[in-house]
Structure 1
Amino acid sequence: MTTILNNRYQIINTLGSGGFGETFLAEDTYMPSRRRCVIKQLKPISNNPQMYQLIQERFAREAAILEELGRGNSQIPDLFAYFSEGGQFYLVQEYIAGETLTKLVQNQGNLSENVVKDILVKILPVLGYVHSKKIVHRDIKPENIIIRSSDSLPVLIDFGAVKEAMGTVVNSQGNSTASIVVGTPGFMPSEQAAGRPLYSSDLFSLGLTAIYLLTGKTPQQLTSDPHTGEVLWQQFAPQVSQILANILTKAVMSHPRDRYPSAQAMLQALQSPIPVTPIAPTIPLASPVPETEETLVVSPAGRQQQAQPVSPVQLPVSNNQNNSLLFGSLIAGGIIGASVVIGYALTRDPEPNTVISSTENSPAPTNSSHVTSSTNSDRDTLTTPPDNSSNVNTANPNNPLVNQPNNPNTGNPAKSLAKPSPKQALQDYYAIINQEDYQTSWSKFTTNFQNNSQVHPQGYQSYTGWWTTVDFVDIEDVRLVAEGVEVAEVDARLRYYLKSGRVSNPNLVRFRLVWDENTNQWLIDGAKSSQ
């Protein structure tokens, strides 16, 4: 017998079923093309007739949000209609022809690092868009991301808020509340299981989804550190680079403050890494690919009210140019030294700029296109890069630059072309900071800068004491100001994202770098505010 819903939608087959209801593939008989669509049937948890009107109102509100999300982003299905019938609620959504990530792994096996990174880079902006609407998805897992056949883009489906509306009840105080928590065991973090989802809860779920794509293992099949409870997964994917491993490990940290604060921050980390040698294999990968778990309906313990994510607070950052180093940046009431300005950067390619000024202790330049160094006995000349940007080396993440030693037998200034760009050296430094590898980043300072007691009163301890409070630093612009054989200057515009959730205003900083022939690399020798 043919089933017709709402006197319009003819059911073709059942796509799935779970605790919230069923999902059908249907045809719209009112459309000349008999357009295919997906119909989600949602069953209220309570059979109380008095609750029906309240659930209907919440259902209508959540449906309106789904409509807005679908209209605003092509990687979210459109909502065509919603209705109630026979005491149950229905959503009519765009049918996405394609393959879920679960099916993709089952059919093709574990995915390569490049494929997984590509999926993440394409889905994170969608998640950022959802969060910008103050919505937490709450049920990200391989089954809820479809690779669309028409353009190979990942599409985010099955938002959890509508499901939560089905669990609306009245508590003992007479107030309406959600009696269920939406999510899938293993893929949802502890704060979500307690009924307090955050934006970073979605990033946690997405991180575990990526780990599933790389390893073929669901969260329940992974191990955890017995001391910290953190997920241990890299032994199941020994081929993955340490950079991607670090990014995913950060995304799935158990405490929200240790994760990326936003989808944009995670996307930024993926788009500006530096090459790192992959870790050695420890455990061979050999296991069948399991199905991912169904979405769970659970009751939160002691839940009174749904917590709302809080957007970062913009904090002013003051500048102080009375010192050649950057001492005046104020964040959360603390004074930040010059080491603070060295953080995480975007890999943009801005146009070359003319020299703004030399370092404060340097002699005044004789003309606008040259500045001189006061730390080198040979007074190495810094030359402003020409307008032709092809003379500025830019690193390719897939084909990194290799430092070349200087040729002592020639005085040809062109020998500096064999070096990596100072701008790239600064960007590489930021990527190391972003991975929280502070020992390596500390080694990117000159000895003089490390021993500067005004900047690092307690040496390395001062340096790490600050950085453990910072999630990352976004460099909104980076420009090569001047480059000589042994000295260079780079301008960078910085914005700090603290682990507390606070965000600073951007601040323009000039960095001084010197070439170290012993290690064949540019080292940071100082920094000062340029504003």
Structure 2
Amino acid sequence: MQIWTPNQNIQNQRFTIQKVIGSGGYGITYSAIEQRTGKTFVLKTLNHLQQTKPDFPEQQQKFVQEAFRLAKCHHPHIVEVHDVFQENQLWVMVMEYIDGQDLAEYIDQQGKLSEHEALCYVEQVGNALEYIHQRGFLHRDVKPNNILLRRTTKEAVLIDFGLAREFTTGRTGSMTSAKTEGYAPLEQYERRGNFGTYTDVYALAATLYSLLTGEVPFPANFRKTGIPLPPPQQFNSQISDRVNGAILQGMALQPQERTPTVLEFRKNLGLVSSGDPEVQLKSSVGMDYRQLRDLLAAGKWYEADEETARVMLAVAQREKEGWLRVEDIDNFPCEDLRIIDQLWVKYSNGRFGFSVQKRIYQSLGGTREYNKEIWQAFGDKVGWRKGGDWLYYRDITFDITAPEAHLPGG
């Protein structure tokens, strides 16, 4: 059995253990310093209880499957896996270290959140869930404890894919009985149940319930005995009727009565239009994005790029200076950044947008810390460099045929 202690070196002196930062039913995570780079990473292994069980080899196999499944995911709101290795027969996952706190700790300190702030986090996690659902697997443990908030940007990041499993919607399958009371739907209490995207919808809706009320919802198995779920408005009268109804539908006890997909849940919350998926232009500071929308819809990429720069400077109140500082970017309203990004993503059919650029940048190993080689590789990838030289703005390609993530560039 392996349990590591502070200052212990592993992987041929590659990592020095700092401390244990988390432990659950299956895994244990450590913070560690990589000696060569001086960077902090998170190392995850199976915990001491799993290491002493007769089925430890099978659990290791599932752990490795989780690692490779996560390593294929490159999304701004999903924790990044950098490497997998063995240390004395124990498999270890090397993940990015996220400086921040989980949403459970956050609401313990802040109290129940405003509807606007809670929906911002649910929108980000919802996008992450749609991404993994498209790749054929479920998270099955969405809850405030498994959502980290980056300290600087307040972006939500979904972590802990230990219960993630592949699925076929509507097909009865055998799953592990592990679950979190209050966030797990009824089908997770059954050894063989009908699992689908609606399984994660329940947990996401329950998470929103908790963020808005400060309460953990009644567990699904209690509700099955006839105990009704109190509407979230009972604990927070500031919750709108629309959001209250969307949560209750998302937490319907029976899968066939529940909101079927995360996209439908987001539509019910008003985050996405229910017809043609029109981006909701609800600025948190009163900015008018109709001009940007119309330019993008008309395929006027140059004008749209200029308009993007204009509105971002206006939102940050930096029109006079004409450029954004790091603190302006860190404090840029989440809702407005989402609007700008979604408009670019929608009208470019997913080719352009900040989220597309971020996905590629992070896939190359990019972080908030400047790295010349990674930045140059990113410039090459998105077409901002040619022949080893950076292009002038006038040489940018303002056309839909430009490389992926080429725009916005202003």
- With structure 2 as the length reference, what TM-score do the two structures score? 0.58
Paired residues of 1:208 and 1:252 also in contact (CA < 8 A): yes
Does residue 33 of structure 2 align to residue 27 of structure 1? yes
Q: 2:275 aligns with which of 324, 345, 368?
A: 345
Q: 1:130 aligns with which of 132, 142, 155?
A: 132
Unaligned runs of 5+ in 1: 166-176, 275-343, 350-393, 399-475, 477-531
- State the 1:250 CA deviation: 0.7
What corresponds to 1:154 in structure 2? Answer: 156
* Per-residue CA distance 1:369-401 (angstroms, 9 max, x = gap): xxxxxxxxxxxxxxxxxxxxxxxxx99799xxx
Paired residues of 2:50 and 2:56 also in contact (CA < 8 A): no
Matched residues in 2 for 1:263 and 1:395: separation?
Answer: 20
Paired residues of 1:37 and 1:93 also in contact (CA < 8 A): yes
Paired residues of 1:105 and 1:111 also in contact (CA < 8 A): yes
Opposite residue 90 of structure 1, the aligned amino acid is V
What corresponds to 1:300 in structure 2? Answer: none
Paired residues of 2:183 and 2:219 also in contact (CA < 8 A): no
Does residue 7 of structure 2 align to residue 9 of structure 1? no
Unaligned runs of 5+ in 2: 1-5, 167-172, 285-345, 347-410
Give 3-state SS (helix, strand or coil) of 1:248's partner: helix
Opposite residue 210 of structure 1, the aligned amino acid is L
Does residue 239 of structure 2 align to residue 243 of structure 1? no
Instruction: Point out the structure with the larger strand share.
Output: 1
Matched residues in 1 for 2:242 and 2:19: separation?
Answer: 44
Opposite residue 245 of structure 1, the aligned amino acid is N
What corresponds to 1:188 in structure 2? Answer: 184
Matched residues in 2 for 1:232 and 1:47: separation?
Answer: 43
Larger RCO: 1 or 2 (CA < 8 Å, sep 6+): 1
Opposite residue 264 of structure 1, the aligned amino acid is L
Assess, with a 3 A threshold, how the Cα gap between structure 1 residues 226 and 45 changes in structure 2: closer, same or farther: closer
- State the 1:221 CA deviation: 8.9
Instruction: Point out the structure with the larger helix share.
Output: 2
- State the 1:215 CA deviation: 0.9
Give 3-state SS (helix, strand or coil) of 1:181's partner: coil
The CA RMSD over aligned residues, in Å, is: 3.6
Assess, with a 3 A threshold, how the Cα gap between structure 1 residues 345 and 48 changes in structure 2: closer, same or farther: closer
* Per-residue CA distance 1:238-276 (angstroms, 9 max, x = gap): 2111000001111111111122211111122223689xx
What corresponds to 1:218 in structure 2? Answer: 216
- State the 1:149 CA deviation: 2.6
Q: 2:71 aligns with which of 67, 73, 78?
A: 67
Assess, with a 3 A threshold, how the Cα gap between structure 1 residues 52 and 188 changes in structure 2: closer, same or farther: closer
- State the 1:219 CA deviation: 2.2
Assess, with a 3 A threshold, how the Cα gap between structure 1 residues 201 and 40 changes in structure 2: closer, same or farther: same
- State the 1:102 CA deviation: 0.9
Paired residues of 2:115 and 2:212 also in contact (CA < 8 A): yes
Paired residues of 2:182 and 2:219 also in contact (CA < 8 A): no
Matched residues in 1 for 2:78 and 2:118: separation?
Answer: 19
Paired residues of 1:147 and 1:153 also in contact (CA < 8 A): yes
What corresponds to 2:333 in structure 1? Answer: none
Once the two structures are superposed, the pairs formed by residues 251-270 of structure 1 within 5 Å of their partners are 251-270=250-269
* % same residue: 27
- State the 1:94 CA deviation: 0.5
- With structure 1 as the length reference, what TM-score do the two structures score? 0.46
Matched residues in 2 for 1:35 and 1:189: separation?
Answer: 39
What corresponds to 2:45 in structure 1? Answer: 41
Assess, with a 3 A threshold, how the Cα gap between structure 1 residues 108 and 228 changes in structure 2: closer, same or farther: closer
